[in-house]
Amino acid sequence: MSEPNPDNPRRTRRSALAGAALLVTAIPILVALLLNGGARGVQANPTVAPLHLSPLASSPTPPLPDLLLPPGTGALVARVQHPTKIRSAPGGRVFATLPTHTGFGTPNTVWVAKRSGTWLGVVSPVAGNHRLGWIPASDAALSRVNWEIKVSLSARMVTVLHDGKAVEHYLIAIGAPTAPTPTGHFAVTDRLNTGDPTGPYGCCILALSALAPHHISDWDGGNRIAIHSTPETSSIGHDVSHGCMRLTLPEGQWLIDHIPLGTPTLISS
């Protein structure tokens, strides 16, 4: 048998390829040794560089649970189910108690002018003019009314709307310069029969949440403002009242026959 020939070109090429493969395998090991201390050897517990992560944006605050609202598009009204604390803001300071009935004995039904989650911003004489009081929705029964009253003091006119359409226009008397009718957003609180159509309030009174800055004489409502009938029809169209709005007896009767409690009432100059 002949001896292997070291000058055999095939064998030389195979040896070169094997050496190259060995070198490739050794490179990562050499790099690791250099990165971890070189001649000192690989550390048993190499230190891991800390991660630098940007904080995640905070998740948006979930909205407050909404109410199960009654169907329809009319104004939302709330009938007070039991005496409830009325607050200056949702969950805010308590400033009064909203009773179940008005001073006239009517079930207390208030216009819900604003909502915040399960809180109701209501228009009530307890809160006062130009101010909302807040009550929890759990203390009230919700419904809707499709009526609205608009009063123009300059025109001496009441306009009644149903489903957004004007259905009645009544000429009225308004407050005298010394006892002006207040302006703002109010609501109907009581529908009252006087039992004496010849008296100063005629047959019928539609009491509002509006408050006058003065006491109104011959009136059990204190400083409450109302739309009421009068037998003194000569006063209609003039600014002569103590702040209330006057109209004829048939018109007053029509109002208390048709207008629900809680109906929004806008009085503008």
Same domain flag for 169 and 260: yes
Same domain flag for 139 and 163: no
In a domain, 12, yes or no: no
Boundary (domain end) residue, out of 145, 174, 207:
145
What pLDDT, in 10s, does the model give residues 191-230? Answer: 999 999 999 999 999 999 999 988 777 777 889 999 999 9
Q: Pick the more confident residue, 13 or 174.
A: 174
* Residue numbers of the domain that contains 183: 147-268
**Cβ(230)–Cβ(173) below 8 Å:** yes
The helix/strand/coil state of 38 is helix
pLDDT at 65: 52
Same domain flag for 181 and 249: yes
Domain count, the chain: 2
In a domain, 47, yes or no: no
pLDDT at 67: 67
pLDDT at 235: 96
Would residue 204 show up in a list of annotated catalytic residues for this protein?
Answer: no
Query: Exactly one of 203, 204, 228, 242 is catalytic; which is it?
Result: 228
Q: Residue 108 maps to which CATH number?
A: 2.30.30.40
Boundary (domain end) residue, out of 145, 174, 206:
145
Please indicate, yes or no, whether the overall pTM of this predicted structure exceeds 0.95. no
What pLDDT, in 10s, does the model give residues 133-175? Answer: 999 999 999 999 999 999 999 999 999 999 999 999 999 999 9
Q: Is the dihedral of CA 175, 179, 183, 188 positive or negative?
A: negative
Q: Please determine, for residue 57, whether its predicted confidence score (pLDDT) is greater than 60.
A: no
Same domain flag for 155 and 246: yes
Would residue 242 show up in a list of annotated catalytic residues for this protein?
Answer: no
Q: How confident is the model at residue 10 (pLDDT cuts 50, 70, 90)?
A: very low
